[in-house]
Structure 1
């Protein structure tokens, strides 16, 4: 596969072309033998890496900085951890670094990661070993919440509210037992809660000769992933990925690919460049008034809104723009525009996004002056050129196309 793909210079091929070439190399692989013999995991991962590097032109779309905090807790002797600890310091128990301070220039990447630590921490479970790294009352290690939350009245009576788990455990011939210290004897009405408290404790015991460790509750394997964190944060409002609205449309693959990038929020707008460490000002190239993000440049920019108004007026519909590109694709249902116009309607957001992005790049890199009339004309022409073949007995000229979209004859 590497030899086949190496013949092509990926930086000179569009994203759609790269996808086609990757598929062609996959088609030439010995699928029949692979169906009988299990492919080694290392080989599979290597093939995926080769495809990924070719698709993105020599590098992944996003540097995987999101795993650093998790590895900080687990890889205790790694050299990279010593570097982070030397620069930022380490929290008392060693689960994370201290918060970065004093970063006034560029992007405080580590500072941003550290701010989200409390969000991550609430989804962790600690497994007790023989170290002093887990708080008896304040960490989640016995049940689904800290003991101070499960048993607040007992926590109020605790002698040491910051006690370590190891200090509360007493070793004996039978293995060991729990001996938390309280400030006074219990009253009769408190005994039921005390009983429940020790029943919960007795399900746990310290594992001698084993280090304290942490488990991520949102995955079956116990390892952290950004995907699982994202799902847990948006679980109340899940939005499925609108694949059919992006890939099953009569436009070029590169146009669909850009729509896919935009939906994931990975197009290289100015805010994305800042997140990747570029020190630059962030101002929309088109309106020059707001910060540039993918949702702003494609949906909410006042210059781009004129295109949306034009599109809705062409179809004679009233529509409210969604907040994000993903929500726009998810809600782009064209059943009300009629069968004949449906293909044009489905292709409209992709064609509009592509036109805006190309115009934005010309303004940014070629210093072309923005013209709203030229922007409108480019959009309508691009929409017509990409959908005219899907219209049976449809208009043959651009002027006829505009009239056909707006007329009742396109609603059949």
Structure 2
């Protein structure tokens, strides 16, 4: 991985390009070994460190600030992450494929060797089994009727079962009508147990043995019932859903670096003066643009009086009335643009990210190059950047900047 990185001129690659290279190359390099072996913790941490340093910059000779913690980066985009694969979870998902192959490829030579030497253990929490003629499914202890074993769904009935290790085939009785379920219990049921008994047999009667068909394993996380590493990985990383405006950031016709900055700004992790103070820098906190208020990402992108002129310009171009929310996250979450019409919706959705990028670049020029702030130049930069980012997505759209302004203002 280090050799691969040495060929890339990382200092010339934007953040969007780095994310793409991590997805396509760095994260896939150890796939083969992870599908065969359990990755040692030290190796995993080393590989993740290489990916982090490539994403945020830095390396052996320099150290740059990692704005967002790696656990958040590894979340799915819909949950506020970048969709970078967590190596530990991916390693588990890849190795679990062997469990699936062990259940499905029973005639393979390697499968017969393992079963002959070590035997086989039935059932786990991620598979559902479907009844057939071969006896490989435990009636009480395997997942085949519902989303959990019958011994968990009906514990009091399981306690009364005569054979707690009975196979599904043993409980099924064939008859002229097809068959019926006949589990054996140690005593007659009491009156207060009849409701649970009824629920038990209602659940059983939804299932029938398929004569002449072998038992088979079904993967519950896919519609087709076949195992995939992607579905297992997704189920392992999915936690509590996070409200995050992912579509307003990633499903917009702008450059990846612009979307990346929008993502960082939404999490409030851009290196504004208040963030530098939290990281231990002894700095006076004053907005570089208005010189009146303390600088934060919400102030510099939304509430600064200099920046508000851009928002007023944007609203006047589209002919809409809008009240800005308190945070960047709330702004992007409510930026749907259903009222601007289908023709202009793409430009409207790209507008906040283009505005954020223009303001941030201008702020950095004022802060580090000591350039004077010009409101007229700021407005012109924003309109030009918005046009340059969206003109390729507009079918038969305006060919000049002046035509673009008129086109946006048209109803």
- Asked if structure 2 preserves the Cα contact closer than 8 Å seen for 1:295 and 1:325, the reply is yes
Match of residue 198 from structure 1: 201
Match of residue 84 from structure 1: 114
Q: Report the CA distance between 1:2 and its aligned residue.
A: 2.0
- Asked if structure 1 preserves the Cα contact closer than 8 Å seen for 2:67 and 2:269, the reply is no
Q: Report the CA distance between 1:14 and its aligned residue.
A: 1.9
* CA 1:86–1:182: 2 relative to 1, 3 Å: closer
Q: Tell me the TM-score normalised to structure 2 length.
A: 0.55
* CA 1:205–1:306: 2 relative to 1, 3 Å: farther
Q: Report the CA distance between 1:353 and its aligned residue.
A: 0.2
Residue deviations 1:271-329 (CA, integer Å, cap 9, x gap): 11111111111100000000000000000000000000111111111111011111111
* CA 1:22–1:219: 2 relative to 1, 3 Å: closer
Q: Report the CA distance between 1:244 and its aligned residue.
A: 1.4
SS at match of 2:25: helix
Bigger shift: residues 271-280 or 154-163 = 154-163
Q: Report the CA distance between 1:362 and its aligned residue.
A: 0.8
Gap runs ≥5 in structure 1: 93-123
Residue deviations 1:228-267 (CA, integer Å, cap 9, x gap): 9999999999961111111111111111111111111111
Residue deviations 1:161-188 (CA, integer Å, cap 9, x gap): 9999999999999999999999999999
Q: Report the CA distance between 1:331 and its aligned residue.
A: 1.0
- Asked if structure 1 preserves the Cα contact closer than 8 Å seen for 2:56 and 2:66, the reply is no
- Asked if structure 2 preserves the Cα contact closer than 8 Å seen for 1:67 and 1:225, the reply is no
Q: Tell me the TM-score normalised to structure 1 length.
A: 0.55
Match of residue 144 from structure 1: 147
| Equivalent position to 2:177, from 174, 178, 195 | 174
- Asked if structure 2 preserves the Cα contact closer than 8 Å seen for 1:169 and 1:206, the reply is yes
Bigger shift: residues 171-180 or 377-386 = 171-180
**Count of matched residue pairs:** 377
* CA 1:56–1:336: 2 relative to 1, 3 Å: same
* CA 1:192–1:339: 2 relative to 1, 3 Å: closer
Q: Compute the RMSD of aligned alpha carbons.
A: 12.9
Residue deviations 1:42-93 (CA, integer Å, cap 9, x gap): 443332221111111127999999999999999999999999999999999x
Q: Report the CA distance between 1:24 and its aligned residue.
A: 3.4
Gap runs ≥5 in structure 2: 71-100
SS at match of 1:126: strand
CA distance in 2, matches of 1:331, 1:245: 9
Bigger shift: residues 219-228 or 205-214 = 205-214
Q: Report whether the alignment pairs 1:63 with 2:80.
A: no
* CA 1:376–1:85: 2 relative to 1, 3 Å: farther
CA distance in 1, matches of 2:287, 2:105: 42
